Each structure stands twice: as structure tokens, then as C-alpha cells.
């Protein structure tokens, strides 16, 4: 029912038997608007001398006005048993129920059960009803508008938390929307305020409530003075929040890997392009490098990332005393996707996924100082800046309403690198290169609101890496050369810190050591043919980072 006015009784289902069993089960009534002046039954079962069962029925009220009784289930038997159990009443929105009586179940019979399994799901605050009875489970789901000190449900008459004279009491649970304003220890919320009397006490004197997907609150329950009050005792971040930080950390990993391309193959290609330029007097040349790969990062759990990066720019080179100087300006673009995996003791595993994209540019410089002892000394540097966007989602990280967590983040990134190397000429065709590099990358922080309403703050995330290695190169001809190398890389920082309402999440980190192996092949232009320059390299990673990456630089001139 979505509008109009009904002056008669509403039945989701009705069953009658004179002497047998009457079952009114698995029915549903939905009221979203209009006015109902008489009783609403989810299911109604009657038997004169037999058994009447009204079970597994549901009444949903999200709007309109009801001025009489609301029964999840109603059962009657003159001389037999009647059961009105396992029924459900859901209330949301802002319906007018001030004249309505709320019953999970009701029996009119010598024996039976009208309490067990009946559930009230209250998804609003500030509502008023006349009487409340026969719910074994009372679930208060606080909407985004709820605040400390609110009265969630006002009962103008009597609210009963027990099964008649039977010593069976209602169990109370609570969930909180992610956008609810921060609660502090000692804050209280009146779950039920009864005008006439509050009968009985809840079966539990404390409860744990999830707020969105980020916080877990511990509340004390107190039933006194005609009120059922929940008082906050303590709060801590939910275990699954580490997955949110890992999504942000994946962005840092993508941005940081771009620095490898700039300081590695990119600088090498810029120097080669300037040296082999068709206009050596000016020393100007273009260069372009493509890189792709797949890596697994051990972050305390793990992040699996796959991506593709492009580096293109303009290089200028000139012979100087005592060597050669190369300068370059470049544009960079990269995109990829990732998966996160988390496992917890005594809790289900949690999976997330997302994608990242970065775009930016920068400057690079390389200087070769010829004839330092048996080889050449080399110094390199780069700076870069841009913007990175990360989208993260987790089908396993859901709030109490079943909504999965998702966010979009966009922030600036900055980076710089410094490197020193020495190329030892073993023979006229073979050289051994020793090098060290330092990389710093920062991904700026961001404030995001999850799809569940939780306001999450990501702090600036820094990557600080040392890379030490050696590379053996050999020229097989004037056109073809190959190289093989090994290196060790140490991530000194790489943590992603985040919080919600001042409560910090567990910070996953890229920190740790990684061994790197490298293979490369370079093909130089041939005389009399188009000037084709091709450089291929493949890197493998083991340790904190596992996986591979490949680089390809191609230049064709006529």
C-alpha cells in the first residue's frame, strides 16, 4: 500500500481450520504511504479445536499512518495451541504510528508461543507508538540523523521486554549508520522511552554495535525509570578497516613504481636518444619508454597489483668537460588494477579490489664523468609531480544494512631520486656497473566519504627506498648488446595511515627488503637502414615485493 485510506483489516495471509492445523506463514505486508484505520496482520491463523500457526510473516512500514494494532503474526485456538512466532516487523522512514500497538506475535489460546523468534527492526529515530510487546529480538538501527541523547522510540503506553509471566526476556541489538556524528565514552542514547511503564529488563546488559564499516562500539544497557538506555563504554576501529588503507597504499605503490621507470630505463633512453640525435649540434631528441608488470606486495596482508606505465619526453645532451651532460623533460602516465587480501583469526577473510591511474611530469638529469680510473663515474637525478586517483571497493566489507564499502580518492603525488654509478670497463666489449639509487615518493592525503557514510581521513603516505645493484654488460657486435644484473632494494617507510572520527586504523606498510634480478637486450641502428633503436629489459622481484616488470624503449627515425 502506497497511498489512499483503508477502513478495514489488512491480512498478509489468513488461514482457518475447525479441528485441524491452520497455517498462515511466509506472508508479507508493505505499507509505504496512506492511512490504515484498522488492524494489520502479517499472518492470521485460527483453529477452533486444533492448532493455529502464524509464523515467518513480515510487516514493513516505511511511511503513512496506522491507527490500530500491527501484528507480525496472530494465532487463535479455542481449545488447542496457538503459535505466533518467528515473525518480523520492520519500521523505517517517518510513519505516523502514535496510535498503533506493535506486536511481534499475539496468541489467544490456552497454550502456545507468541514471543520466540519475533523481531522488531527499527531503522528510524524519533518515532512514537502506543504499546510494544512480544518481540524476542529488538534491533535498533540508528540512521545517519541520530545523535547522542536522542530517544529512538517513544512508547506512550507500556513497553514490555518479557514474555508475559514466563521468565524469557528480549535481546537488544544496535547498529549505527556510518555518517552518525562521533560518539564519546559516556554518551547515551535512549532506545525506548515508555510513558506508562517499562516491563522487564533485556536479556543482555551490554551490546556491541558496528558503526558503518569502520568502528565498533561497546555499550552498557540499563532498564530503569521507564527507559531503556544504551551508554557508550568504549570504541575501537573495526578489523576490516585495514583493507581501506591497503586500497590507498596500492596508489602509493603505483606512484612509486613510476619512479623506477624514470630513474632507470627512462634516464638511460634519454641519454641514448640525445647522444644518437639526428641533430647532434643541438643535441635535442625525443624518447619514449613503455613498462608493464605484476607485483605482489606483502603489507601485513597482501596487495596484488598489475599496471602499465608510459614515459615520453624531450632530451638534450652536450659534451662537457670532463664528460657528458643530459637533461630531459618528460610526461608520465600509468594505470592498473589491484586486489587486496586480508585474513583474521576467528573471522572470515576479506577481499578488496580497485584500480589506480596517475598522470604527471617532471625533469631528469644525468652526468657521465669520463675516465675516472678504469671506468666512468655517473650521477643522476630526477623530480616528478602529478595526480593519482584510486578507486577501491570490497564486496566483503559491508555495513549492518548490507551496503558494501567503496570510495574514490584523488590526491597529488611528488617524487625525487638521486643516483650514483661507476661503470668499470673490464674489456673493450665488457663492463661491470655498480650503482646506488635513492627514491622518495609522497602520495598526498585525502578525505573521503565511503559509500556507507563513514568519513575516512587518509594521511600523507611516503615511500623511501634504497636500491643497490650491479650490472654486467657485453657488446656482441656494433648493434647488439646484452646485460644481466642483480640488486637489493630496501623500503624504509611505505605506511598508509588512516582514521575515522579520530580513531586510527592499523597501518599496512610496504616496508621491507626485495631482491631484484635483471635481463636486458639493446639493438642499435644499422647503417643504411632506418634508425631503429630497441631496448628491452625484464626484472624479477622476490621478498617483500614479488613479481616481475618489463620495459620496452623503441625509437624509429628515417
**pLDDT tens digits, residue range 335-362?**
999 999 988 877 788 999 999 999 999 9
Q: What is the 3-class SS of 340-393, one letter each residue?
A: EEEEECCEEEEEEEEEEEEEEEEEEEEEEEEEECCEEEEEEEEEEEEEEEEEEE
The residues near 167 (Cβ < 8 Å, ≥ 6 apart) are: none
* Alpha helix ranges (H) inside 262-308: 267-275
Q: Where are the domains of the chain?
A: 2-237, 241-557
d(CA 383, CA 263): 10
**pLDDT tens digits, residue range 451-506?**
999 999 999 999 999 999 999 999 888 788 899 999 999 999 989 999 999 999 98
**pLDDT tens digits, residue range 507-516?**
988 899 999 9
For position 278, what pLDDT does the model report?
52
Q: Is the dihedral of CA 159, 163, 164, 168 positive or negative?
A: negative
Buried b (16+ CB within 10 A) or exposed e, 78-97: eebbbbbbbbbbbbbeebbb
Strands 69-77 and 40-41: parallel
Helix (H) or strand (E) holding 249: helix 241-261
Tell whether the model's pLDDT for residue 558 goes beyond 50.
Answer: no
Dihedrals φ, ψ of 254, to 5°? Answer: -65, -45
Q: How many CB atoms lie within 10 A of CB 558?
A: 6
As a whole number, the mean pLDDT across the chain is 91
Q: How many CB atoms lie within 10 A of CB 450?
A: 24
Q: Hey, what CATH class is 241-557 in?
A: mainly beta
Determine the Cα angle at 414 with ends 408 and 418, to 5°.
145
Out of 56-65, 91-100, 273-282, pick the least confident.
273-282
Could you tell me if 71 and 106 are in contact, meaning their C-beta atoms sit under 8 angstroms apart? yes
Q: pTM here?
A: 0.87
Amino acid at each position: 500500500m502506497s497511498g489512499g485510506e483503508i477502513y478495514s483489516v489488512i491480512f498478509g495471509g489468513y488461514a482457518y481450520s475447525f479441528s485441524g492445523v491452520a497455517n498462515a506463514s511466509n506472508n508479507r505486508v508493505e505499507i509505504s504511504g496512506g492511512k490504515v484505520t484498522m488492524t494489520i496482520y502479517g499472518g492470521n491463523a485460527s483453529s477452533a479445536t486444533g492448532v493455529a500457526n502464524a509464523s515467518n510473516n513480515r510487516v514493513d512500514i516505511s511511511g503513512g499512518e496506522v491507527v490500530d494494532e500491527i501484528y507480525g503474526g496472530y494465532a487463535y485456538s479455542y481449545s488447542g495451541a496457538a503459535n505466533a512466532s518467528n515473525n518480523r516487523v520492520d519500521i523505517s522512514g517517518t510513519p505516523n504510528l502514535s496510535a498503533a500497538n506493535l506486536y511481534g506475535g499475539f496468541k489467544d489460546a490456552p497454550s502456545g508461543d507468541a514471543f520466540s523468534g519475533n523481531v522488531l527492526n527499527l531503522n528510524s529515530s524519533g518515532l512514537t507508538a502506543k504499546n510494544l510487546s512480544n518481540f524476542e529480538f529488538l534491533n535498533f538501527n540508528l540512521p545517519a540523523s541520530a545523535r547522542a541523547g536522542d530517544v529512538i522510540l517513544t512508547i506512550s503506553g507500556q513497553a514490555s521486554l518479557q514474555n508475559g509471566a514466563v521468565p524469557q526476556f528480549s535481546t537488544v541489538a544496535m547498529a549505527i549508520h556510518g555518517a552518525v556524528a562521533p560518539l564519546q565514552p559516556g554518551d547515551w542514547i535512549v532506545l525506548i522511552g515508555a510513558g506508562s511503564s517499562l516491563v522487564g529488563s533485556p536479556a543482555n546488559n551490554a551490546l556491541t554495535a558496528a558503526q558503518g564499516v569502520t568502528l565498533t562500539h561497546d555499550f552498557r544497557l540499563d532498564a530503569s525509570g521507564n527507559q531503556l538506555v544504551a551508554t557508550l563504554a568504549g570504541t575501537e576501529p573495526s578489523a576490516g578497516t585495514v583493507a581501506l588503507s591497503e586500497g590507498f597504499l596500492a596508489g602509493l605503490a603505483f606512484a612509486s613504481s613510476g619512479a623506477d621507470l624514470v630513474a632507470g630505463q627512462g634516464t638511460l633512453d634519454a641519454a641514448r636518444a640525445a647522444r644518437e640525435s639526428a641533430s647532434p649540434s643541438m643535441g635535442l631528441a625525443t624518447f619514449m619508454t613503455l613498462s608493464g608488470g605484476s607485483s605482489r606486495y606483502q603489507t601485513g596482508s597482501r596487495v596484488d597489483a598489475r599496471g602499465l606505465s608510459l614515459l615520453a619526453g624531450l632530451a638534450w645532451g652536450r659534451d662537457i668537460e670532463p664528460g657528458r651532460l643530459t637533461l630531459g623533460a618528460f610526461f608520465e602516465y600509468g594505470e592498473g588494477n589491484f586486489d587486496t587480501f586480508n585474513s583474521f583469526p576467528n573471522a572470515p577473510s576479506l577481499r578488496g579490489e580497485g584500480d589506480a591511474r596517475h598522470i604527471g611530469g617532471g625533469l631528469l638529469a644525468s652526468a657521465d664523468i669520463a675516465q675516472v680510473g678504469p671506468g666512468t663515474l655517473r650521477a643522476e637525478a630526477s623530480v616528478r609531480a602529478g595526480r593519482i586517483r584510486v578507486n577501491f571497493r570490497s564486496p566483503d566489507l559491508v555495513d549492518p544494512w548490507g551496503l558494501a564499502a567503496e570510495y574514490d580518492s584523488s590526491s597529488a603525488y611528488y617524487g625525487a631520486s638521486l643516483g650514483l654509478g661507476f661503470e668499470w670497463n673490464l674489456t673493450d666489449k665488457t663492463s661491470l656497473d655498480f650503482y646506488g639509487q635513492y627514491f622518495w615518493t609522497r602520495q598526498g592525503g585525502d578525505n573521503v566519504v565511503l559509500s556507507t557514510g563513514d568519513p575516512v581521513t587518509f594521511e600523507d603516505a611516503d615511500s623511501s627506498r634504497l636500491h643497490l645493484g650491479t650490472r654486467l654488460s657485453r657488446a656482441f657486435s656494433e648493434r647488439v648488446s646484452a646485460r644481466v644484473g642483480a640488486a637489493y632494494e630496501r623500503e624504509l617507510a611505505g605506511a598508509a595511515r588512516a582514521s575515522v572520527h579520530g580513531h586510527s586504523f592499523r597501518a599496512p606498510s610496504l616496508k621491507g627488503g626485495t631482491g631484484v634480478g635483471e635481463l636486458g637486450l639493446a639493438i642499435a641502428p644499422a647503417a643504411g637502414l632506418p634508425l631503429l633503436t630497441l631496448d628491452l629489459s625484464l626484472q624479477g622481484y622476490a621478498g617483500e615485493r614479488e613479481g616481475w616488470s618489463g620495459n620496452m624503449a623503441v625509437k624509429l627515425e628515417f
